[in-house]
Amino acid sequence: MSLYQKYRPKDFESLVWQEFVKISLQNAMLQWKIVWAYLFYGSRGTGKTSVARILAKWLNCLDLTDTWNPCHECVNCKAFQNDENLDIIEIDAASNTWVDNIRELIERAQFQPNQSKYKVYIIDEVHMLSKWAFNALLKILEEPPVHVKFILATTEIHKIPDTIISRTQRYDFKKITEQDIVDRLAFIAKSENISAETEALKLIWRISKWWLRDAISLFEQYSIWWNLKLEYLRANLQLVWDDFLKEFINSIQTKNRSEILEKLLFLREKWIDVKIFLEEIVFFLRDRLMESFWENIFHEYIRMFEVFEWIYGKLKYVPNTFTILEIWVLKLISGESTVSATVQSKSEIQNVQKPREEIKIEKKAEEKIKIEPETETEAEIPEIKEEKIVEKIVKNNTGKKFDIKELIESVKKDSWKWFIAMTLISSRFEIKDDTCNIYTSNDFNFQKLNTPEVKWYLSQKMETLFSVWYSMVIGLDKKGWNNILNDVWDIF
Ligand SMILES: [Zn+2]
């Protein structure tokens, strides 16, 4: 049995995070306040499915323990553990194999359970259901048979019809923190008698990107002879170390061409994983940014940060990840990193810039308002500079205006929110009724904005500025990234 399976939480007692979800669920259960349908919302890897499975087991357990947990011993618990409980039906709505029969499956919920108290449907990625399947689900939720429970899990709650949401009890799952993962790994290490260096655990957290399952697999794979060492991880995961990153950044700063060429060659020869390398660099730069906030060097770090982050977003579209890294590092050194290469100078671009005017947006059939960039100058990599923030005025359906420039300016002024401002500059906005859609240009920016805290912050900010409350929906729009340096792009 893999360590992940061994240490997967099996009851509420062994569930060590999502404290709030756990407590509210347990409270409801203690009072036997059981609803027809639960909705678990949270990003990937937050433990929604694990909790759904515990809940399903709990609902059907014949002999709950003193601590109000499933017993793991009764026929129902055992059947579930052996994947033999026909009444707990797990469906992954994202998987195509279910598309045809999912509706039928839901309709069959009307029939009595085979062996247990309840028929429990766990539908993962429920937002992927087809319209027909949602209709079938809604029909059951409107008049639920006493023997049926639904546990719906989703990463994208805005795609679920309101009619469904209003018939469920919603639980929001928080992102698992670095500390949670490091603590969990340390716990496993202790239980398995493995001596693990804390720095090695932190590195695993970074590489696994908050995915506990990946973190535990890496941990298992690299714990050699009951030891987990940072050195060993670095050597085998083809990573570089902090000193190298420091020198790498330093040679870009000092524009030391021979040194940077040497380092690039080293990366290529060692066949470093460029994706992980960029992640390491971005983390490294983040720390430098924090340290140098009041210093001149800050802006230089920002520029590098922007470039590395941008390359990161492009990696999956290029045949050779080394080449894009090399070209951009050389461009950084030669100071051309934000200049379009065919080689219109900035002043030439500004000369052809159309006079600024309020963008008039016509209502489209689907009542969406699209904001297109005014001129091609926007396609450059954004910098925190006044002139780069092109005026964009958006009207919502009521004709009320708001100015994105004003929003970005205001965000910039809040301490530690500059990274949000940076991301907004390169994003596309779309207003529909009370919803503000922000389409980011790459995964990295998407991750930055798509957190409950940032969305709440932006809604509040917009309300203060424009007296309208918008729900924020963050999307990913690769096309929206305009034609950044298409000419360079043509090389690939
Ligand atoms: Zn039981």
Which residues on adjacent β-strands are paired with residue 395?
Answer: 401
Q: How far apart are the CA of 62 and the centre of ligand 1, in A?
A: 5
pLDDT tens digits for 324-366?
888 888 888 887 655 333 333 333 334 434 434 333 433 333 3
Domain match, 106 and 159 both: yes
Nearest-angstrom CA–CA distance, 63 and 77: 9
Domain match, 67 and 109 both: yes
Domain match, 168 and 41 both: yes
Q: How far apart are the CA of 78 and the centre of ligand 1, in A?
A: 7
Confirm whether 382 is domain-assigned. Answer: no
Confirm whether 373 is domain-assigned. Answer: no
CATH code for position 39: 3.40.50.300
Domain match, 86 and 205 both: no
Q: How far apart are the CA of 63 and the centre of ligand 1, in A?
A: 5
Domain match, 114 and 12 both: yes
Confirm whether 415 is domain-assigned. Answer: yes
Nearest-angstrom CA–CA distance, 129 and 134: 6
Q: How far apart are the CA of 342 and the centre of ligand 1, in A?
A: 70
Q: How far apart are the CA of 8 and the centre of ligand 1, in A?
A: 17
Q: How far apart are the CA of 213 and the centre of ligand 1, in A?
A: 26
Confirm whether 365 is domain-assigned. Answer: no
Domain match, 154 and 74 both: yes
Q: Which of the listed residues 172, 205, 222 is the one where a domain comes to its end?
A: 172
pLDDT at 99: 54
C-beta of residue 329 within 8 angstroms of C-beta of residue 354? no
Which residue, 162, 163, 159, 114, is CA-closest to 138?
Answer: 163
Amino acid residing at 84: E
Q: How far apart are the CA of 36 and the centre of ligand 1, in A?
A: 21
CATH code for position 216: 1.10.8
Q: How far apart are the CA of 28 and the centre of ligand 1, in A?
A: 19
Q: How far apart are the CA of 64 and the centre of ligand 1, in A?
A: 6
Nearest-angstrom CA–CA distance, 46 and 33: 24
Domain match, 21 and 122 both: yes
C-beta of residue 58 within 8 angstroms of C-beta of residue 71? no
Confirm whether 363 is domain-assigned. Answer: no
Q: How far apart are the CA of 207 and the centre of ligand 1, in A?
A: 37
Confirm whether 367 is domain-assigned. Answer: no
Q: Which domain holds residue 322?
A: 245-333
C-beta of residue 204 within 8 angstroms of C-beta of residue 215? yes
CB atoms near residue 369 (< 10 Å)? 18
Q: Which of 280-299 are b and which e, b meaning 16 or more Cβ less than 10 Å from the residue's Cβ?
A: bbeebbeebbeeeeeeeebe
Domain match, 29 and 165 both: yes
Q: How far apart are the CA of 109 and the centre of ligand 1, in A?
A: 22
Domain match, 289 and 198 both: no
pLDDT at 422: 76
Domain match, 56 and 128 both: yes
Q: How far apart are the CA of 74 and the centre of ligand 1, in A?
A: 4
Number of domains, the chain: 4
Confirm whether 351 is domain-assigned. Answer: no
Q: Which of the listed residues 125, 156, 172 is the one where a domain comes to its end?
A: 172
Q: Which of the listed residues 172, 193, 228 is the one where a domain comes to its end?
A: 172
DSSP structure class, residue 47: S
Q: How far apart are the CA of 75 and the centre of ligand 1, in A?
A: 7
Q: How far apart are the CA of 91 and the centre of ligand 1, in A?
A: 22
Confirm whether 65 is domain-assigned. Answer: yes
Nearest-angstrom CA–CA distance, 62 and 117: 9
pLDDT tens digits for 363-397?
333 334 344 443 333 334 444 343 333 345 555 55
CATH code for position 393: 3.30.300
* Low-confidence stretches of the chain (pLDDT beneath 50): 339-391, 480-492
Domain match, 157 and 223 both: no
Domain match, 28 and 168 both: yes
